[in-house]
Amino acid sequence: MCDAIRELSLAIANRQSAVLATVVGVVGSSPAKVGAQIVLLPDGTTAGTVGGGRLEARVLEDARNALQSHQAGLYHYRLTEEGQDAIGTLCGGEVTVFVQPYFPLPKLVIVGGGHIGRPLKVMGEVTGFDTVVVDVLAGSNNVPELEQVDLTDDSYVVLITTDHISDEAALRIALKSPAPYIGMIGSIHKCQTILEHLKRDGITEQDLQRVYAPIGLDLGGSSPNEIALGILAEIVTCRQKKGAYKGFVKSRRLGGLTQDLPDSVS
């Protein structure tokens, strides 16, 4: 296994982002050979080589851009001083490189593995989430298991325990994280009461706006599988639309402690 592939494998295993650049075409004189590879990590660490010098510097520049844009691309470099795609060298050849970014799977954290959590776990895995189920003792006012989960800005937290005490305890933990989606199951009255508790304890309105409650898109179904589907649909919509989704659902969420909202799937 070459150094680039070994480093990429380690990054994937450790849930790190990485970019792999592979030389896929060479015409004429070039320091790069077809099949040469280099991997770039977010901290600037590299492994492997695509020939060094200005060519490698340009490839790494495009790799850094791929980390930012999340887009793969096919790049052409002309090893000349002038002309289209020129990189300022005198070799005279041409090199084509495929740049592919790799990112950890988004994490779906299900707090409460009951009758809704089970189908949600299966659906989440099929949809491409790294799914984690956190079991909670009923009536527990602390959830140390959730505190052990690394919640990132690509984590989606679902609170579906069997009681309001556990849901509130888990919500307090989740709100300390950068998770873009925190959904809590329950009736409007339950969700309203819990959010009022947090507001009374100094949780800011901005943080409360992050809570999707009652959880899930209302797809019209009431079975555990249908509720799970509504939850996952809301998560996928949130992930794809990012901040724009918040405005879309503001009228049906309780994050802002709005009073006149219809009930949801829970």
Q: CATH no. for residue 205?
A: 3.40.50.720
Top mean pLDDT of 70-74, 202-206, 259-263 is at 70-74
Q: Specify if 265 maps to a domain.
A: no
Summarised one tens digit per residue, pLDDT across range 6-22 is: 999 999 988 899 999 99
Q: Helices 117-127 and 224-241, interaxial angle, to 10°?
A: 40
Domain boundary among 50, 78, 102: 102
**Which of 29, 38, 126, 129 shows the shortest CA–CA distance to 79?**
29
Give the pLDDT confidence score for residue 174 in this predicted structure. 94
Q: Specify if 242 maps to a domain.
A: yes
- 136 with 208, same domain? yes
- 133 with 13, same domain? no
- 24 with 122, same domain? no
- 124 with 228, same domain? yes
- 141 with 79, same domain? no
Give the pLDDT confidence score for residue 63 in this predicted structure. 97
The least confident of 54-58, 161-165, 167-171, 260-264 is: 260-264
Domain boundary among 102, 131, 146: 102
Confidence check: pLDDT of 109 > 70: yes
Q: What CA dihedral angle connects 242, 217, 125 and 151, to 10 degrees?
A: 50
Q: Specify if 203 maps to a domain.
A: yes
- 9 with 72, same domain? yes
- 142 with 179, same domain? yes
Q: Which domain holds residue 134?
A: 107-252
Give the pLDDT confidence score for residue 187 in this predicted structure. 87
Q: In the predicted model, what is the mean pLDDT of the chain? A: 87
Summarised one tens digit per residue, pLDDT across range 63-72 is: 999 999 989 9
pLDDT band of residue 224 (cuts 50, 70, 90) is very high
Q: Helices 164-174 and 188-200, interaxial angle, to 10°?
A: 50
- 117 with 149, same domain? yes
- DSSP category for residue 86: B
Q: Which position has the token pair 């947090």?
A: 198
User: For the chain, how many structural domains are there in total?
Assistant: 2
- 223 with 150, same domain? yes
- 98 with 111, same domain? no
pTM value? 0.72
